[in-house]
Each structure stands twice: as C-alpha cells, then as structure tokens.
Amino acid sequence: MAQRIFVLDTTLRDGEQTPGVSLTPEKKLDIARALDELGVDVIEAGSAITSEGERKGIKLIANEGLDAEVLSFARLLKQDIDLALDCDVDGIFLVAPTSDLHIKYKLSSTREKVLKSVEELVGYCRQHGLTVDLCCEDGSRTSPEFLERVLKVAEKAKADRFTLADTVGALTPGRMSDLMKPLAKKAKIPLGVHCHDDLGMATANTVAAVRSGARTVDVTVNGLGERAGNASLEEVVMALKTVYGYQLNVKTERLFKLSDLVERITGIPVPPNKAIVGENAFTHEAGIHVDGILKKPGTYELLKPESVGARRRFVLGKHVGMKSVKKMLEELDFKVNESQLTEVFNQVKYIGDKGKRVTNVDLEAIANQVLGIEQERHIKLEELVTTAGNKFTPTASVKMRINGSEVVESSTGTGPVDAAINAIRKATRDVPFELLEYHVDAISGGSDAVVKIMVKLKSKDKIITSQGTGTDIVLASVDAMVNGLNSIMARMKK
Ligand code: MN
C-alpha cells in the first residue's frame, strides 16, 4: 500500500501574503470551502494577530464544519495563540525562527531562549486543546544539530507535527534530502515541509522532502505566496500522485476549477505556461503534435487533461498542421473537399505568419469565403452610448439590428464594458449563450494602446472564440461579442 501524504494548504495565509492580495472574510470562506471540497487535509486559514477582518475570516472558516483541520498562524507569543483561540481554530501553525540569522537579527535573542519558548508555547497550545504544527522558520539555513534539538523539544512538549520551512527558497532537491533524511530518522512525530520558489525549485524541493521522509506538504493554489511564491498545490499533488503513486485525499479533477476561482478572487493572473493549470498546459498548436495526439494522446501529453479538470485545446496559428484545420472545420460543421481544405489551410498559415492568433470565428469566415457561402450578419451594432465616471453608475445603451428588426436596450454594469455587454445580452435574449471567458491584451504601450479582446462563448455544446480590436476598449469588446454571436446565430440557422 502506497504511503499516504497529507496536504496543508496555506493559500489563505502565505498565499494571501502575495504582494497586492487582500481577501475579505467572505472571499476567504469561498476559497476554504473549495479547498475542502478538493480534499486538502489541513487549511491554514490566516494569522489571527493580523486584523479584526482576518479574525472574522478565520472564525467563519473554523465554524463552517469543514472536513479539513483549520489552523491559524502564530508567532512564539501567547497573545497570537490567544487571538487564534478566540477564532475557534482546531490548531496552530506555530512558527519558530531557528536560523542564527533570524535569531540574532530578527529576534535579538538566543538559541536557548527560542528552545524555551518552543517548549512553553507548544505546551500552552496543548493545554488549550489545540493541535500544534511546530514550524522552523528559515529551517533550511539552520544548523542540522540545532534543528534536531528543536525537534526533540517540540516532541517532548507534544507537538503534533514538525515542519521544516525553506523560508527564502534557498534549497535544491539534493540539499533538501541531506537535511530531511537525518531528521526523519530521529523524528517520532510526522514531518512537514514548507518551500518557497525563489530559485524556481519549490515543487522539486517539496517532492524531494517527501522522498526523504516528510509526510505533510505545505502548498498554495497557483503557487501564490510571498515574493516568488510557495510550492504550488497542483504541481506537488500531481507529481506525487502520478510519478510516485503516493496516496492523497485530493480530488485532482477539481484542480483546474479551484485555480480559476483563486485567480478570480485574488486578481493574480495564472501565467499561460503555468504547469497543470495554465491556459496553455493542454493546448496544442504545432502540426506534428496535434497529429500525434489525434492518434494517441499520450504521445505529447504527460497527464490527461480531464484528470485535473482541464480540456484539451487545439489552436490555429503558424505552426498548425493540415489535420488540425480539418478537425476544427469538422467541429464547425463544414464539409470541405481536398482542395478547399488546402485553401483554408494556406489562409490560416498566412494569418498565423503575421503573428496573429486565428480564432474559430476567423476560421469560419475563411471557410465561408473559400466555400463561396454568403456570410449573413444576423446581428449588427448600429449605435452604442456608454457613460462612466465617479458620479455615475456605469450605463450603456445599444441600438442593434437583429435579423432585420431594430432592438434598443440599455443596462448598467460594474464598468462601461460590463454595462455594454449586459445591454447586448438583453438585446439578444433569444440567443442561448454563456460568456465563458473575457481577455484583454494591450498590444502597444501607452494609454492610447490598441487593445485586443478575446471572448469565449458557449452555446449548447459548442465553444466559440472571437475577437475584437481597437483603441476603444468598450467598442472592441462589443465587436468581439457581436462577432461571436453572429457565429452562434449562423449555426442556429443551419
Ligand atoms: Mn512561507
């Protein structure tokens, strides 16, 4: 039977320490619920000492009846623990600085005093019925002898777990093993590991720690965290599970959704090339790859997209192959012969060569033209007026021509773009669609930049991507929407 590994998620504590991120208590609860549904074993919900709002969030999470154990961060101070107790948490992530650097310069203290505090405060937590994860801050730059002394003191005081933190991301997998293995030999309580990504090795170091005896991994969704971030939950989980076959409680098919939720709530975008949860993690453009994948997905995919709740995507660009174009045309219900396919393929390559991405609305336009199909514009925008400013509720009104008849609608929104899209939704209420994604890219630098808007719409089981460009973000957004809706309506007519 493979070893069971426990996941401690610290998105709500270390992750929230990402520069620019601050979450309301309600948003923290939303993320905690999603983490619990995913199946993490422990949630570090925040640091009770931080603020009134933080305590409110921790308390909400602690009283939500989650399966996960809920912890608060605390320093080696009674007041931190007392405030955590007020929040009804199950336990404390008790952080003891252990490197000489931290003890001398940060605490102006001594090793002996730190050991005494560990003994006292672990005991204090236990007296109050709290579980304790004793974490050695800057543990990776602490002498192995002292680490062992801290471990023994923590064990004697009845800590539940002993965690080694690579607080500044200083380790490599080899160095991690050198530190962890002797500790694992001596330890009578389970070991945990907490890694940062300053050298881009947080995931590798976390996996190395597990291979050397750690049983609990501290991670954050999307690798959020201070500076370069923490070890990422999705990477660590998938590596442990698929490479080594460890047992985890995580429902991996929920990873993509959770990443998305955290991205939206924190406002920290996931890079497209991010492992596991990036937009491109399961996207293929190059012809050779697409051909291989259509024959057998394993040729160019390590993981099955559905195993993490993602979808495989083929995109069109200059590296595209004939087979992808053929497959995408079939998905769009076009029947083409050999020479028409070649013509469409050549045009896609031509656009791709200019550095442009080819959406499926573009592909449709090319195919219609090659097949000599008159493209009917079912929806046309005739007028658009928006108002926005600090004294107005953003409002938009649109005059549209839909299948020949004039429709006028208006709506409010969180900003002018949202208001305009809401007005279009109202005007096209008979067209079934869902807006799945909305992306803005500024193509050039200044405030007069050309923006490119990409929208992804879903209608019944079809996904349509379309784009709009221009210097006016509202107009470009509306264009993208109208282009996509035209494609949906054309399909309804078929
Ligand atoms: Mn940390």
Residue 358 CA to ligand 1 centre (angstroms): 42
| b/e 305-342 (16+ beta carbons within 10 angstroms → b) | beebbbeeebbbbbbbbbbbbbebbeebebebeeebbe
For 367, the domain range is 283-371
> Does residue 484 lie in a domain region?
yes
Q: Which residues contact 370 (CB under 8 A, 6 or more apart)?
A: 336, 340, 343, 344, 347
Retrieve residue 199's tokens: 């050298």
pLDDT digits (tens, 9 = 90+) for 192-205: 999 999 999 999 99
Q: How many domains does the chain have?
A: 3
The predicted structure's pLDDT at residue 376: 73
Cα of 40 to ligand 1 centre, how many Å? 18
Is the predicted pLDDT of residue 494 greater than 70, yes or no? no
387 lies in the same domain as 364 = no
Summary mean pLDDT of the chain: 93
Do both 291 and 252 map to the same domain?
Answer: no
Q: Rounded to whole angstroms, how far apart are CA atoms 482 and 21?
A: 34
CA distance 70 to 61: 7
How close is the Cα of 26 to the center of ligand 1, in Å?
Answer: 23
Q: Is residue 338 part of a domain?
A: yes
CA 2 / ligand 1 centre spacing (Å): 28
Distance 52 CA to ligand 1 centre (A): 22
278 C-alpha to ligand 1 centroid (Å): 23
- Kindly give the distance from the C-alpha atom of residue 166 to the centroid of ligand 1, in angstroms, as a whole number: 8
Last residue of a domain, one of 344, 371, 398: 371
Give the Å distance between the CA of 218 and the centre of ligand 1.
Answer: 9
Per-residue pLDDT, 470: 83
Residues 223 and 102 in one domain: yes
How many Å lie between the centroid of ligand 1 and the Cα of residue 167? 5
Q: Which two tokens stand for residue 107?
A: 């605490």
Task: Look at residues 317, 351, 371 and tell me which one is the last residue of a structural domain.
Answer: 371
Task: List the CATH number of the domain containing 68.
Answer: 3.20.20.70
Distances in Å between the Cα of 409 and the Cα atoms of 384, 482, 485 are 10, 15, 16
**Residue 437 to residues 94, 278, 463, 464, 474, Cα–Cα distance (Å):** 41, 14, 11, 10, 16
Q: What is the dihedral of CA 475, 481, 487, 488, to 10 degrees?
A: -150
- pLDDT at residue 374, as a whole number: 74
Query: Does residue 334 share a domain with residue 246?
Result: no
Kindly report, residue by residue over 327-367, the tens digit of the pLDDT: 888 888 889 999 999 999 998 888 888 777 788 788 888 88
Residue 23 pLDDT exceeds 90 = yes
Ligand 1 centroid – CA 386 distance (Å): 45
Structural domain contains residue 276? no
Residue 278 domain flag: no
Across 262-266, 280-284, 318-322, least confident range = 318-322
Q: For residue 193, how far is its CA from the centre of ligand 1 (angstroms)?
A: 10
Tokens of 32: 């905690």
Q: How many A from CA of 266 to the centre of ligand 1?
A: 18
CA of 128 to the centre of ligand 1 (A): 25
> Do residues 260 and 180 both lie within one domain?
yes
Strand partners, 451: 442, 470
In the reported structure, the alpha carbon of residue 121 is separated from the centroid of ligand 1 by a whole-number distance in angstroms of 20
> DSSP states of 156-205 as a string?
HTT-SEEEEEETT----HHHHHHHHHHHHHH-SS-EEEEEB-TTS-HHHH
Which domain CATH number covers 443? 3.30.160.270
Same domain, 31 and 128: yes
Instruction: Find out whether 301 and 283 touch, Cβ atoms under 8 Å.
Output: no
Going from the Cα of 92 to the center of ligand 1, the distance in angstroms, rounded, reads 15
Question: Cα of 303 to ligand 1 centre, how many Å?
Answer: 29
* 299 part of a folded domain: yes
Q: What is the pLDDT of residues 225-234, one digit of tens each?
A: 999 999 999 9
Please identify, among 239, 266, 293, the residue that sits at the C-terminal boundary of a domain: 266
The answer on 158 and 252 residing in a single domain is yes
Instruction: Let me know whether 258 and 298 are in one domain.
Output: no
* Residue 113: inside a domain: yes
Ligand 1 centroid to Cα of residue 194, in Å, is 7
Q: Are residues 218 and 82 located together in one domain of the fold? A: yes
Domain annotation covers residue 274? no
Mark whether 190 and 293 lie in a shared domain: no
Residue 277 lies in a domain: no
- For residue range 56-81, list pLDDT tens digits in order: 999 999 999 999 999 999 999 999 99
Distance 376 CA to ligand 1 centre (A): 57
Helix, coil or strand: residue 215: coil
pLDDT value of position 175: 98
3-state secondary structure 405-445: EEEEEEEECCCHHHHHHHHHHHHCCCCCCEEEEEEEEECCC
Work out the angle between the directed axes of helices 173-186 and 144-156 (0-180°, nearest 10).
40
Tell me: do 35 and 161 sit in the same domain: yes
Distance CA 134, CA 147 (A): 12
Question: What six digits make up the tokens of 268?
Answer: 């920290």
Do 239 and 130 share a structural domain? yes
